[in-house]
Structure 1
């Protein structure tokens, strides 16, 4: 990487180098286990001119998202998060039968199903053929396409301008951030609203959430860098909410610049927090790599000690972030014989790079392991409740991030 993809600067400084890993959602079918597996460098840098943190665009969105293993609806807490958002957005913006809502990267319709239920006209724009088909089967109108200025203009010409454009957990996934932002502007009405949810770089740094660095995530935002990114497409940030999702996320409320007005107080408050954390100078990033190394050492020490003591450890969940963690730590089936996942698409497959089998969740109760390593740590509250049955045989849950913690669960 020689230039910042947002401002074009060459002033890029290393934040953390995680080596080379396969794409995090490229789960392997059994017949592919003896085939070569490509890996790509995973090196996060920050631009010291606009402060956008980014990795090189070594794989294309087309390679990742045309066929995709992640279905949002398998997380009950995420579906509930979407329901509450739709309810609140409808009240905030006065959405009704005459309104039009577009969600970009709408996945399997986990969010727009709630818009459909309210009788509001909507459209999903989803590049993955398989999850888009699931959305249509669930009654959510879905266009299979990547968002670009041209796609946005075509949707607007056919369906009219959108009163609300939703872009949840996609703004980090697009290497052409300027073109994508122009696509958002093309979709939204001149007096409409754009809502973007994206992980907050502040919590990623503060809470050691380095496993959310993977090849699908091309950039990592602060409010300061998001303001500049949105402006590149003619959008102005007017409000921000801090969310607990994904370990700490931003909900950015933006409008076309001609309708935006002055930003609300919360924007200034979060900018001040980021500045206090040193994220607008290099000092805020210099210790992160050392703290990442400690997460790795602590987890490996726990797994090796458990193996030496004859205790069994299995995994729960097969999220993309888990594959960054497993590959960075060099964890193989000798230390983690399998993990389980609620998504049937992943059953019978193997984690990329580390070749750990992915099995149905029922396997945990059948095997009664001593420890369950929870890979989607961001769903901690939901999964502590889901996995309460582990208490029946004295099993315990292990969370690797922000630091290693072993949890006794109770029914």
Structure 2
């Protein structure tokens, strides 16, 4: 990477180098275990001119999202979060037409449909888009850019509300994508974006959310710059707990930043994220997470204890690859998504089973890889304590419950 993808500056400084890993959603079939596996550098840098944190665009969205392994509806808490958002957004805006970009399997728009509000999903992955249509959510299979946005607007009209949750980090052409959002939204409409907040990523050592699908990592300051690049103004911002700490950006084609924008900008500045000092110690904290997890797994193996995983999320594959974990330390992991059953994690090649495997085997420890769903999963996995098993959370610091 030689230039910032947002402002074009050559002033990029290393934040943390995680080595080389395969793309985190390329789960392997048994037949593929005998084949070569391509890895790509995973090196996070920050631009000291616009403060956008970013990794090189070494894989394209088309490679990742044409067929996708992630279905949002397999997380109960995520579906409930979407329902709460829809209720609040309808009260706030009273929209007559809602468009969601990266609408996945209809996890959010199903709540819009239930309210009798016209809506449309724009989803690039054919397999998850079909799942949305199967549940009655109108969905087109497209990647968003200025042309797609203009075409959707021409056919369906401008949207009062455009939703883009957990996608703003996933697109290397951030300017073109933002122009696509502007094309979709009415001149007096709203764009709502949820994306992980770099402030909490840094403060809570959430480095496993750095992976090849996530091309950039936003502060409110850098998000404000990104939105402006496509003709949108950041009017309001909320802090939300999803993914360990996210920001919900409310943008409009015109207007002024509200008081909450200024408040969170001040918090970021106080944390040093508008200058290099805030990034200086992150690599050392990441190394400590790695050492603590490996020490636990090695000690457990030496004591004859069994450790299995729960979940096969993208973030888990960053963590497992960075730590060099293999089946001798983590026998297998489980996931609620049947698509992943019988497959293997990329790079580390750990088998993935159905969740029922845990109760059948009664392991000593369960390593929870989607730590961001801690409340939901602690409840789902409470049965592990029946045989004296314990849950392990690796981030922000190793915790055995």
TM-score range, shorter chain: over 0.9
Q: 1:377 Cα shift?
A: 0.2
Report 1:108-127 matches (<5 A): 108-127=105-124
Output the CA distance in 2 between the equivalents of 1:28 and 1:20. Answer: 17
Runs of 5+ in structure 2 lacking a partner? none
Question: How many correspondences in the alignment?
Answer: 401
Is 1:275 the counterpart of 2:272 in the alignment?
no
Report 1:12-411 matches (<5 A): 12-95=12-95, 99-257=96-254, 260=255, 262-407=256-401
- Deviation track 1:50-74 (CA, whole Å, cap 9, x = no partner) reads 0000000000000000010000000
- Deviation track 1:162-205 (CA, whole Å, cap 9, x = no partner) reads 00000000000000000000000000000000000000000000
Output the CA distance in 2 between the equivalents of 1:321 and 1:126. Answer: 22
Q: 1:264 Cα shift?
A: 1.4
Output the CA distance in 2 between the equivalents of 1:160 and 1:94. Answer: 16
- Deviation track 1:27-71 (CA, whole Å, cap 9, x = no partner) reads 001111000110000000000000000000000000000010000
Output the CA distance in 2 between the equivalents of 1:117 and 1:349. Answer: 35
RMSD of the alignment, in Å?
Answer: 0.4
Structure 1 length-normalised TM: 0.97
- 4+ long deviations beyond 6 Å: none
SS at match of 2:34: coil
Runs of 5+ in structure 1 lacking a partner? none
SS at match of 1:33: helix
Q: 1:263 Cα shift?
A: 1.7
SS at match of 2:312: coil
Q: 1:293 Cα shift?
A: 0.2
Q: 1:308 Cα shift?
A: 0.3
Output the CA distance in 1 between the equivalents of 2:48 and 2:149. Answer: 32
Q: 1:138 Cα shift?
A: 0.7
Output the CA distance in 1 between the equivalents of 2:252 and 2:319. Answer: 37
Q: 1:274 Cα shift?
A: 0.1
Output the CA distance in 1 between the equivalents of 2:199 and 2:56. Answer: 21
Structure 2 length-normalised TM: 1.00
Output the CA distance in 2 between the equivalents of 1:23 and 1:332. Answer: 17
Output the CA distance in 2 between the equivalents of 1:31 and 1:140. Answer: 35
Output the CA distance in 2 between the equivalents of 1:266 and 1:49. Answer: 23
Output the CA distance in 2 between the equivalents of 1:224 and 1:111. Answer: 27
Q: 1:94 Cα shift?
A: 1.7
- Deviation track 1:232-274 (CA, whole Å, cap 9, x = no partner) reads 00000000000110000000000002xx2x2211101100000
